[in-house]
Amino acid sequence: MTTSAPPRHDSAPTPAPRRGAADGGRVARGAFDPRLLLASLPAALRKLHPRTMLASPVMFVVEVGSVLTTALACADPGDWFGWTIAAWLWATVLFANLAEAVAEGRGRAQAASLRRARTDTVARRLTGDGHAERVPGTELRVGDLVVCEAGDTVPGDGDVVEGVASVDESAITGESAPVIRESGGDRSAVTGGTRVLSDRIVVRVTTRPGETFLDRMISLVEGASRQKTPNEIALGILLASLTIVFLLVVVTLQPFAVYAGAEQSTIVLTALLVCLIPTTIGALLSAIGIAGMDRLVQRNVLATSGRAVEAAGDVTTLLLDKTGTITYGDRQAAAFLPAPGVGVDELATAAQLSSLADETPEGRSVVALATGAYGRRVRTRDGLGDADFVPFTAQTRMSGVDTGGRRVRKGAVSAVTGWVTEQGGTVPSAVLGAVERISADGGTPLLVADGPCVLGVVHLKDVVKEGIAERFAQLRAMGIRTVMITGDNARTAKAIAAEAGVDDFLAEATPEDKMALIRREQAGGRLVAMTGDGTNDAPALAQADVGVAMNTGTSAAKEAGNMVDLDSDPTKLIDIVRIGKQLLITRGALTTFSLANDIAKYFAIIPAMFAVAHPGLDRLNVMALSSPESAILSAVIFNALIIVALVPLALRGVGYRPLGADRMLRRNLAIYGVGGLVAPFVGIKLIDLLLSSLPGIG
Amino acid sequence: MSPVLADVLQVTALVVALVLAHRPLGDYMAAVYTSPRHLRAERWIYRAIGADPDAEMRWTAYLRGVLAFSFAGVLLLYAMTRLQDLLPLSLGFAPIPPDQAFNTAVSFVTNTNWQSYSGEAAMGHLVQAGGLAVQNFVSAAVGMAVAVAFVRGFVRFRTGGIGNFWADLVRGTVRILLPLSLVFAVVLVALGVIQNFSDGQTVQTVTGATQHLPGGPVASQEVIKELGTNGGGFYNANSAHPFENPDGISNLLEIFLLMLIPSALPRTFGRMVGSLRQGHAIVGAMAVIWLAGVVAVTVVEHQAPGAASQLAGGGMEGKEQRFGVGASSLFAVSTTMTSTGAVNAFHDSFQGLSGGVLIFGMVLGEVAPGGVGSGLYGMLIMAVIAVFLAGLMVGRTPEYLGKKIGTREIKLAASAILVTPALVLIGTGLAMALPDGERAMTNIGPHGFSEVLYAYASAANNNGSAFAGLGANTEFFNTSLGIAMLLGRFLPMVLVLALAGSLAEQRRVPETAGTLHTHKPLFTGLLVASTVVVAGLTFFPALSLGPLAEGLAA
């Protein structure tokens, strides 16, 4: 029927509601489970190795401090204060390691479930003479041809070169509905570890064993290939330089203190140092990064690098394909326009009858419109008795029914016009006018005829997804421009762009146009994100700063992008941007919190250190802490416990709402800046109250 | 008129005058540094020094210019002071000893003007006017040049060039500092500041003793001392001396002069980056910190304890009767927060907490509004840090004025804010650990410690004022303070110019609704908070053992 779309045979995942993340199918849940802390303890202990610790200079300093205080406590075994400080410093290091281990642990759980799919397979490799020999999957080389039949596991990543098959990809996507893979076109890629359910295909292997998509996924979610992202490195430098400043502060404090007649023990100075250096963010920095990647995985998106996630937060231009992202994948019937002298009900009924044999989405939408908005009675094929149905084919581009002497047809304008003319009828000029109007507006007109008599026109059009305009408005508030990419002509594109509320559109887009658009945006300093699935999308995916390949796409597309969406849902680009931003905000918020904490710690520790020599300084003891030892200990304990308290936040990411920059900054400053200022005053006081109630202290 | 009203009126008059001057001077300076034209006099200078004023310099070349010029300045001053007895107009003064000559040469070239000598009792007219005063001009011009080069880093895209050092140096001197000095020197003379080449006169005092009153080209040196935020007085008593600063009006004018260029440079910055509001945000942050300091010191001084102080309406020890508490407090805060270091009162005699505010004003890194040029680039570095911390909280990797603050940028900015705290802490720590520190103190207890802390805060931040109590003309202090001045001046310049080069090479990041707005009050608040918190966290322990211990003991 439709003039434009080729017949569709694939039920390939028009990925309806998101699974996996939503129902917890494949991956571990996002929520933080306290039991994970215990389970991660061994890993956290292993991370105490100084070489591992060096990756975080801040925590390395804490570890050195722990060793130092422990040594000093050993030298004076009766000093309960020294022992307690040493113990809490070790706890601080351990908590930091725990945070990282927990974050990694969640990735490992996901990797384990992926690894189950990577069983050792036996491949049937085609030899030159057309025979199939059985070889282990690990011996396959790039370019080998392998045969897969129903029940076989695909031995490695590759492209189908021959045949069609339905494939179960649930091992990777968590989606249980099988997908069609066929040679040629954009649905030729198969992934190692997936299972062929029916038919027979010949696959050309495109990756070496151990480097397949599944292998990459596993190493990604495990964090094995994790590298620090640019922003993480920059923040690390700032934290390191703050650590140096505080190291200087503490080291030079001793001569000042000696002059004041209040020489401090090394244990107290170490405690002060650990409280001052930004341990909170230092401890959680890597966990935040790992958790950011993890949140993507939970939404069934795999990023090849943390860098890409970070770039997602910076994206300023979003290229969105019209079909499937902004509009539903198919055109849908929107109105019936009767010919002169024909009742609209009569047209609706005829359209409905003639579409019963049209199983395409367009055909179904005609039936739905007739029974819905036009209130026709529900009819089924069986209910029509001995009617003779004419199914839709790509050749006739018509469907219809012959029943009780009536011959009703519905289909493409040219096809139905030809059919009517054959029977001596003509198309009324009013109908032709309607046809032209619809075409001009970017819609697709279908004619409905009863014998030689044209009954009217069905108006098919793109239907913009519900709520999409609001999402674009949110994106705009976040400073992100949306550009709709479509093959439609400019007029159609304009109409849809206006309805969906995108900022711009690219009509009659060719891959070259897309590429040029990306280059243009990037030349202006903008970061571009896009989705794509076809091989001809590959260059653009590679050029874009964030290129999300659909899992249903070709392996070329998947190679070119820096993310793969296992659900093949193009709207997920918006989620990806959100996760990128959330990652950056979490980092900034915890850094601010960490620094703001120091103010309260000074008010606890400085009076404790110097009030004896300078009684006036006791006026700084605004928290009225019970004793100098208790004050210092309370600050150290707070410093350690706040890490654990913030682990869930680091893993989950701070709450994020799409707001303009100013409002977002004001909100986060209020929560994490002011909160960071106030929280330790309360926390340290509470710990002090607790400590002073213990016998022997306070 | 009540003292409080007088103080308020005085501060208001000053602020109004600065606001009135802000726009024309800021715009004029922007025009000076962006104009393609050269004055004839400037062409002569370029020809004489063999410089091509139109050649764009990469940051490394620019830096070479800064360092070579400054090094030559140090050598020249060192030679002049060491060979003073052989020069004309020496007034018979002996050569300056090596450590003091080094200290003095460095001090004037670094725009610090720490003086471990008594000007009128050690330096001849040629050294004063031909050596020290010349550096008062050019060291200020160097500071402005570096600031302007840094701003060009933000303005320019995908280029290596950040301007021409020689052109910036000459223009700053010829078109900005000289004309302003000329005008205000005449005004100062009119207000009673002396200007002559006499070797002074001997007078009979009321008690019958004779006293020698040294004369000299004071007004010409006074004006650039303030205008260039130098601070090195002709007389040891500096602006407390009636020949330098005769009355309340001249006092207010001098404060105006030392605040003038630093507070107008943010306008220049705003003009150059094409958004005046960006400049307003910067000057706003400077103003908030400065005003808070003025209020704090004035209040504390007025409430000085003790019967004598209460009768006098405030702590009058060490203050000039003709200025009183308000004008002295205003001068003290303005001079410490502008890296000027001129004084019209004995900072050593201020209340403990006031002394703390003055030290804090310096260890902020001299940014409120800071020295000529150095204040602007110091505050912009803080803005980069603030943007980095807060910028993340809007969900984007940080950017400032269309430039990404990435690894390289943060490395340079973080190092730049590391320099002066490190110098102050290490210097003070060293002085306290060695016997030299305690030996030089004139006070004991926390106040003695404040004297040492003040000295290094002043030197490392190129302020130049002294807590006065410290007997700093020793080999140890002359040398260590000299090193602190050198590193405190030039290390940040190296980093700032490197940062300028790195920024200039970047492409522009377009502004969107998701971009952190750096021209709004929220950012000003953030900038103030970052500046105060970073310095506060660094110096809280030291301040608590000095000024706080002293001030809270009461």
Global pTM value:
0.87
Cβ contact (<8 Å) for B540 and A476? no
Residues 6+ apart with CB under 8 A from A533: A186, A549, A550, A552, A553, A554, A557, A568
Contact check, Cβ <8 Å, A241/B542 = no
Give the whole-angstrom CA distance, residue B115 versus residue B118.
7
For chain B, the domains span: 3-540+549-553
Residue A662, pLDDT > 90, answer: no
Q: Which of B406, B422, B529 sits opposite A230 (nearest CB)?
A: B406
Task: Evaluate if residue A357 carries a pLDDT over 60.
Answer: yes
Residue B37: C-alpha distances to residues A435, B160, B169, B463 (Å):
68, 22, 15, 34
- Residue of B251, B240, B234 lying closest to B194 (CA atoms): B234
Q: pLDDT: is B313 or A597 the higher one?
A: A597
ipTM: 0.94
Please indicate whether residue A321 is annotated as part of the active site. Answer: yes
Q: Does B443 touch chain A (CB under 8 A)?
A: no
φ, ψ for residue A296, nearest 5 deg:
-65, -45
B198-213 burial, b if ≥16 CB within 10 A, otherwise e?
Answer: eeeeeeeeeeeeeeee
Task: Measure the N-to-C terminal CA separation of chain A; round to a whole number of Å.
Answer: 87
* Distance from the A526 Cα atom to the nearest Cα atom in chain B, whole angstroms: 6
Tokens encoding B416: 């730049």
Mean pLDDT of A142-171: 85
- Pick the most confident of A5-14, A201-210, A685-694: A685-694
Q: In terms of Cα–Cα distance, which of B404, B526, B510, B393 is closest to A581?
A: B393
B429 interfaces chain A, CB cutoff of 8 Å: yes
Distances, alpha carbon B64 to alpha carbons A310, B75, B165, B166, B167, in Å? 37, 16, 9, 11, 14
Q: What is the mean pLDDT of chain A?
A: 85
pLDDT of residue A237: 94
Q: Which residue has the tokens 């508030």?
A: A477
B23: enclosing H helix or E strand: helix B3-34
CA distances from B252 to A265, B3, B247, B327 (A): 50, 16, 9, 8
Find the closest chain B residue to A582 by CA distance: B395
- Cis peptide bond N-terminal to B369, omega within 30: yes
Q: State pLDDT tens for residues B230-278.
A: 998 888 889 999 999 999 999 999 999 999 999 999 999 999 999 999 9
Q: Give the tokens for residue B45.
A: 């200078």
Sequence-distant (6+) residues with CB within 8 A of B324 are B3, B6, B313, B314, B316
Query: What are the tens digits of pLDDT across the range A378-424?
Result: 888 777 777 888 888 777 888 888 887 888 999 989 889 999 998 88
Chains A & B: contacts with CB separation below 8 Å: 211
Q: Which residues of A547-567 are buried (b: 16+ CB within 10 A; e: fewer)?
A: bbbbbbbbbbbbbbbbbbbbb
Q: What's the pLDDT at B147?
A: 98
Cβ-based neighbours of A93, under 8 Å, separated by 6 or more: A48, A53, A59, A62, A63, A66
Average of per-residue pLDDT across A35-60: 88
Cα–Cα distance, A384 to B21 (Å, whole number): 92
Question: Which residue has better confidence, B422 or A217?
Answer: B422
User: Two tokens at B265?
Assistant: 């440079």
Residues of B in contact with A244 (CB under 8 A): 418, 422
Mean pLDDT along residues A602-613: 94
Question: How do A158-162 and A200-205 pair as beta strands?
Answer: antiparallel
Displacement of CA B362 from its chain's centroid (Å): 9
- 3-state percent breakdown (helix, strand, coil) of chain A, nearest 5: 50, 15, 30
**Interface check B545 vs A, CB under 8 A:** yes
**Token code pair at residue A304:** 């090849």
Which residues in chain A are closer than 8 Å to B414, comparing Cβ atoms?
237-238, 240-242
The structure tokens listed for A77 are 């075994």
Which stretch of A173-182, A189-198, A352-361, B464-473 has the lowest confidence by average pLDDT?
A: A173-182
Confidence class for position A493, pLDDT limits 50, 70, 90 = confident
Q: Could you say which of A238, A581, A619 has the minimum Cβ distance to residue B388?
A: A238
Q: Which of A243, A248, A254, A663 should be substituted to probe chain B, the one whose Cβ sees the most B Cβ atoms within 10 Å?
A: A248
Q: What is the pairing mode between strands B403-404 and A164-168?
A: unpaired
Beta bridge pairs of residue A407: A402
Average pLDDT in the A329-343 region? 86
Distance CA B94, CA B86 (A): 9
> How would residue B145 be classed by pLDDT, with cut points 50, 70 and 90?
very high
- Which has the minimum average pLDDT: A105-119, A193-207, A376-390, B310-324? A105-119
DSSP A360: S
Tell me if B130 sits within 8 A of B361, measured CB to CB: no
DSSP per residue, B399-411: EETTEE--HHHHH
- Cα–Cα distance measured from residue A83 to residue B190, given in angstroms and rounded to the nearest whole number: 72
The 3 state secondary structure assigned to B141-189 is HHHHHHHHHHHHHHHCCCCCECCCHHHHHHHHHHHHHHHHHHHHHHHHH
- Please name the residue that has the structure tokens 């500071």: B143
Cross-chain Cβ contact A588/B554 below 8 Å: no
Distance from the B532 Cα atom to the nearest Cα atom in chain A, whole angstroms: 11
A248 with B426: Cβ contact below 8 A: yes
Give the C-alpha separation, A550 to A527, whole Å. 20
Six token digits for residue A419? 């059919």
How far, in Å, CA of A290 to CA of B266, rounded? 41
Nearest Cα residue in chain B from A521: B510
Best to test chain A binding among B388, B396, B419 (most A CBs inside 10 Å): B396
Map residue B68 onto helix, strand or coil: helix
Question: A11: which DSSP letter?
Answer: -
Nearest alpha carbon to residue B392 among B523, B515, B513: B515
Written as one letter, the residue type at B132 is L
Residue B364, CA distances (Å) to B427, B459, B460 in order: 17, 13, 11
Percentage of chain B lying above the pLDDT 90 cut: 75
Residues contacting residue B530 through CB under 8 Å, at least 6 positions apart: B382, B385, B386, B389, B390
Give CA separation, A146 vs A116, A133, A440, A559, B316, in Å. Answer: 22, 9, 50, 21, 97
B388 close to A (CB below 8 A): yes
Interface membership of B439 toward A (CB under 8 Å)? no
Half-sphere exposure for A494 (CA within 13 Å, toward CB): 5
Catalytic residue among A168, A186, A321, A688: A321
What is the predicted pLDDT for the residue at A1?
Answer: 37
Give the pLDDT of residue A96: 95
For residue A329, how many other CB atoms are within 10 A of its CB? 12
Cα–Cα distance, A308 to A286 (Å, whole number): 16
pLDDT given for residue A21 in this prediction: 35
At A32, is the pLDDT very low, low, confident or very high (cuts 50, 70, 90)? low
> Is residue A180 very low, low, confident or very high in pLDDT (cuts 50, 70, 90)?
confident
As a whole number of angstroms, the distance between CA A524 and CA A515 comes to 14
Question: Is A165:A121 a contact under the CB 8 Å cutoff?
Answer: no
Q: Closest approach of chain B CAs to the CA of A312, in angstroms? A: 9
- Structure tokens of B548? 């706080």
The pLDDT of residue B487 is: 97
Q: Which two tokens stand for residue B364?
A: 């902020």
